[in-house]
């Protein structure tokens, strides 16, 4: 039978385990709550930096300098949507206008150069296709010789038999 000391020892161990689990649960909840709060704050900070007017304008300028007008316009649209009253938005509108002008000029230059570019491309393509065609013809000729040789090896006996049969029918007069 269990004695009083044994029951007291078991009760203390159980109380210690329950207390430890309770402390662990409280600490875990506190850490999770703090982590979620910090995660929310960082998400907000990231969103603010993503749509920060100066960064968007700088990105649009860099894209414009690289003649990536579509991306530059998209970045400026983000600026206009997310920071409409900022001084950068005013500067962005001027940049947007200059991008449209530059894009129109680039399109006009392309349209003017298009016939010459197409002609040069067509001539280069024709030379390339002729070279490829000549190579294919040479390969076909070599392949044709091999095919004829193989067919001759297979048909040689039959052709000989046919030839000998014809020779017997038409004797050679000497």
Coil, helix or strand for 125?
helix
> CB atoms < 10 A from the CB of 7, how many?
10
**pLDDT 10s digits, 100-121:** 999 999 999 999 999 999 999 9
Q: Is the pLDDT of residue 49 over 60?
A: no
Burial 120-159 (b: 16+ CB within 10 A, else e): eeeeeeeeeeeeeeeeeeeeeeeeeeeeeeeeeeeeeeee
Residue 66: exposure state from Cβ atoms within 10 A (0-12, 13-18, ≥19):
exposed
Cα-atom radius of gyration of the chain, to the nearest Å? 44
- The pLDDT of residue 31 is 83
Q: Indicate the length of the chain as a whole number.
A: 174
- The pLDDT of residue 172 is 57
Measure the CA–CA gap between 75 and 61, rounded to whole angstroms: 9
The band of 36, judged by pLDDT with boundaries at 50, 70 and 90, is: confident
Measure the CA–CA gap between 135 and 63, rounded to whole angstroms: 45
- The pLDDT of residue 34 is 83
Q: Is the pLDDT of residue 98 over 60?
A: yes
- Name the nearest CA neighbour of 61 among 100, 99, 90, 107: 99
Question: What HEC string does 56-75 produce?
Answer: HHHHHHHHHHCCCHHHHHHH
What is the percent of the chain with per-residue pLDDT over 70, rounded to a whole number?
Answer: 91
- The pLDDT of residue 46 is 57
Q: Is the pLDDT of residue 71 over 70?
A: yes
Break the chain into its structural domains and give their ranges.
1-50, 53-140
CA angle 24, 26, 27 (to 5 degrees): 65
> CB atoms < 10 A from the CB of 162, how many?
11
DSSP-derived letter for residue 167 is H
pTM assigned to the model:
0.47
* Crossing angle of the two packed helices 53-65 and 87-169, in degrees rounded to 10: 40
């Amino acid at each position: 039978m269990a004695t009083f000391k044994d029951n007291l020892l078991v009760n203390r161990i159980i109380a210690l385990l329950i207390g430890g689990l309770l402390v662990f649960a409280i600490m875990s909840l506190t850490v999770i709550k703090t982590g979620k709060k910090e995660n929310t704050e960082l998400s907000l900070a990231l969103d603010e930096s993503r749509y920060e007017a100066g960064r968007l304008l700088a990105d649009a300028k860099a894209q414009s300098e690289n003649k990536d007008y579509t991306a530059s316009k998209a970045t400026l649209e983000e600026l206009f949507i997310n920071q409409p009253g900022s001084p950068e938005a005013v500067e962005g509108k001027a940049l947007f206008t200059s991008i449209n002008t530059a894009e129109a000029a680039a399109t006009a230059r392309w349209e003017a150069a298009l016939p010459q570019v197409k002609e040069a491309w067509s001539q280069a393509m024709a030379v390339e296709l002729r070279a490829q065609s000549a190579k294919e013809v040479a390969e076909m000729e070599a392949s044709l010789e091999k095919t004829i040789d193989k067919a001759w090896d297979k048909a040689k006996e039959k052709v000989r038999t046919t030839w000998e049969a014809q020779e017997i029918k038409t004797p050679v007069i000497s």
